[in-house]
Amino acid sequence: MQTVHVVVLVAYLLLMVAVGLWFSRAKEVSTGEDFVFAGRDLPRPVMIGTLLATWVGSGTIIGGGSFAYTYGPLASIFFLAGTPAGIVVLYFLAKRIRRNATYTVPQLLEQKYGISVRVIAAIITVLAYTGITAYQFTGGGQIISVVTDLEPGAGAIIVFVLVTFLAFGGGLKSVAWSDFLSATLIVFVLLVALPMVIGRDIGGVAAYWDALPDVAHTFTGGLTPLQLLGYFLPLFLLVLADQNMYQRFGAARSEAEAKSSAAGFFISSFFVTIPVALLGSAAVILYPEIVPDQAVLALAGEGTLPPVLGGLLLAGALAFIITTGSSFLLSGAGNVVYDVGERVLGWQMDERRRLRVHRFAILGIAVVAYVLGRYFPTVLELQMYSYTVYGVAIAPPVLAIFLWPRASKWGALIAMTLGVVVTIVWEQLGQPYGVNSVIISLPVAVIALVAGSLLIPDRTVGRRRDEVTNA
């Protein structure tokens, strides 16, 4: 344990708490619009920062670093490329997403497919987002264990409290501004750390390449093409249908701001994913015996980087994890409020009661997520499971709203149901032949959507479909 690391980490966490307290004031958050969309008044730099920080949590810093450590930098291209590839698609949809801004993705789905699809989508979203929040707790606990003498489980409790506090207090306003600070910090630290680790500690690019294990010199890292695709698709599908992305585009000041923010998100994503891939693979040279999940964190915790820079790396990584967890927690609770409470149960709520219910939902999901995180041994394992369930079930019917007018209610229902069932069954079978479940469940879901829509077309929602697809 280094005192400098502890001081830097505590100082940054106090800054995040201060931001949360500032935006928790009543005049900043007085309506559901403020809580979910930040009053639709986020400046463009904050929009880009919150898009980046929401997406880049423990799944990238720890999961991506673990992948690079195990399979090498070239194979990491396939794992991490799902993010920029998905952002490209979102760039062309950003204006229409802003125009059709809804509180939740299931609410958007109802506009085309009806209430039954909304209900099932809401259930899937809450379950998947609870899992994603869970691995933020797990990843954050690992960072705290690197900095202090605490066990990862005890660290996860601290992260649980901080994540819940940010989401509970100021909603998207506090989360977005915390995201902006975190994104600025982590990009700076990664770009400074990269030449120091590879240039100073390893001896340059040539020495780095020569010292890598033989398998790390290949584009597959020892994986089969199907296995590589199985790592690429979950991230790609999640970013395409991620409710957080849609809510943030909805929080933009205008349609043009939404599209330019997507472009900024695309560019900034490389400032994180590339350094993580290189630093994670460099760690196998410097620390060949560590647990892969510790790949990037070990560079700071083992003293490779100067103490202040190492402390900033750990603080930035933890801050990313906290703000990502807060985003998914806030978003999942929104499904409870708007999709379940108001739409299904018919609760009549004024703004004050809506905020209260939203905050209670945040607490409930946070507790379940913490318990869930105790049952998955690694961040990467829980990451792939949660991404796949959500991406396979939600992405095809969401994209069909914008790209295929003939998609029908029954096509969406069958696709979502089969996508979830096949994913769970394949995972419970232990991923036969080493193939990730997305390779099996995604084709099943897409075929079901197309076949179900053609065999059982909609006859009563034509006008509503046209309103959405032509918007």
Number of Cβ atoms within 10 Å of the Cβ of 284: 21
The rounded distance, in Å, linking the Cα atoms of 281 and 266 is 23
pLDDT, residue 402, reads: 85
Per-residue pLDDT of the chain (471 residues; tens, 9 = 90+): 578 888 888 888 888 888 877 776 655 555 666 666 666 777 888 889 888 887 776 567 777 888 999 999 999 888 888 888 888 988 888 888 887 767 788 998 998 999 999 999 998 888 888 887 887 888 788 778 877 878 888 888 888 988 888 777 766 777 788 888 888 888 898 899 999 999 888 999 999 999 999 989 998 998 888 888 888 887 888 788 888 888 788 777 788 888 898 899 999 989 988 999 999 999 999 998 888 878 887 887 666 788 888 888 888 888 878 888 888 888 888 899 989 888 888 888 877 788 888 889 999 999 988 887 776 555 445 555 667 788 899 999 999 998 898 999 999 999 999 998 998 888 888 888 888 888 999 999 999 999 999 999 987 544 444 444 444
The rounded distance, in Å, linking the Cα atoms of 336 and 352 is 16
Q: What is the DSSP letter of 429?
A: T
- Cα-Cα-Cα-Cα torsion 214, 219, 220, 222, nearest 10 degrees, comes to 0
What top-level class would CATH report for the domain 3-29+36-380? mainly alpha
pLDDT, residue 380, reads: 43
pLDDT, residue 301, reads: 66
User: Cβ distance 313 to 272 under 8 Å?
Assistant: no
Question: Cα–chain-centroid distance for residue 104?
Answer: 16
pLDDT, residue 281, reads: 93
The rounded distance, in Å, linking the Cα atoms of 221 and 72 is 6
Supply angle C-alpha 273, 276, 280, rounded to 5. Answer: 145
- Cα-Cα-Cα-Cα torsion 192, 197, 199, 203, nearest 10 degrees, comes to 170
- Cα-Cα-Cα-Cα torsion 79, 84, 85, 87, nearest 10 degrees, comes to 140
pLDDT, residue 376, reads: 58
Query: How would you class 329 by CB atoms within 10 Å of its CB: exposed for 0-12, middle for 13-18, buried for 19 or more?
Result: buried
User: Cβ distance 158 to 365 under 8 Å?
Assistant: no
Q: Which residues are within 8 A (CB) of 467 and not within 5 positions of it... i.e. 6 or more apart?
A: 111
Query: How would you class 68 by CB atoms within 10 Å of its CB: exposed for 0-12, middle for 13-18, buried for 19 or more?
Result: buried
pLDDT, residue 397, reads: 94
Predicted TM-score (pTM) above 0.85: no
The rounded distance, in Å, linking the Cα atoms of 337 and 114 is 18
